[in-house]
Amino acid sequence: MRIPHTTYLYLLTLLFSMVVIILGISPLDRHDWALENFLVVVFVLILGLSHRAFPLSRVSYSLIFIFLCLHEIGAHYTYAKVPYDQFFMANFGFNLNELMSWERNHFDRLVHFSFGLLLAYPIREVYCRIADSKGFWSYFFPLELTMAASMMFELFEWGAAELFGGDLGIAYLGTQGDIWDAHKDMALASIGALLAMSIALVINLYIQKNFREEWKESLSIKHKQPLGEDEIVRRLKKKE
């Protein structure tokens, strides 16, 4: 028997609360940890307040949970100092940065990629259930919104770094001296979202009987008359 959506959300909330508590104990930079978790609190509150009227699928809740756990790891250590190299050395006997010839800590790159890969599907679910997006648009709009959200987060990071300044601003921004850091982060989020939508498309192509018809209908012209000034004139005439 499948677990009800609300029960499943409660279980994930309990697990995530444990993750937050454990990783909230003695973080590397308490102020950065608090700043990193500001948007998390807002996001979790939105999910909690909307779950009765608009419960998401277990898949969406699971993807969100995984992303938030990755974020909490970054918040605990600060993104630029997550010790993944020590993890690989202790468990697999090799240094990942040396193997890949990396000169910086790339954990933030992983999370930005995961932002697109893991959150594009929940965004698609919202589009399909609220905006009734179908066919081509049910894949394009989630991709577009994920890319836009990534851009807005980069602007938020910039604003927070300017506001707080000093070591806290540098720790939160996490550019590690790369002037193209924001561009690369947005590109990785976009690639992750594109991959997620491609996977969803392939699955639906296989299981959805009317996939081709719906795709074709979504790209058909619904209103042949132009809008703009023409539509204003038509509406004014109707008003008369």
- Range with lowest mean pLDDT among 66-70, 146-150, 228-232: 228-232
For residues 70 and 129, give the distance between their C-alpha atoms in angstroms, rounded to a whole number. 27
Mean pLDDT of 51-61: 94
CA 15 to chain centre: 20
pLDDT, tens digit, for every residue of 152-192?
988 888 887 787 777 776 766 666 777 888 889 999 999 99
pLDDT exceeding 70 applies to what percent of the chain? 97
Could you tell me the two tokens for 167? 């070591």
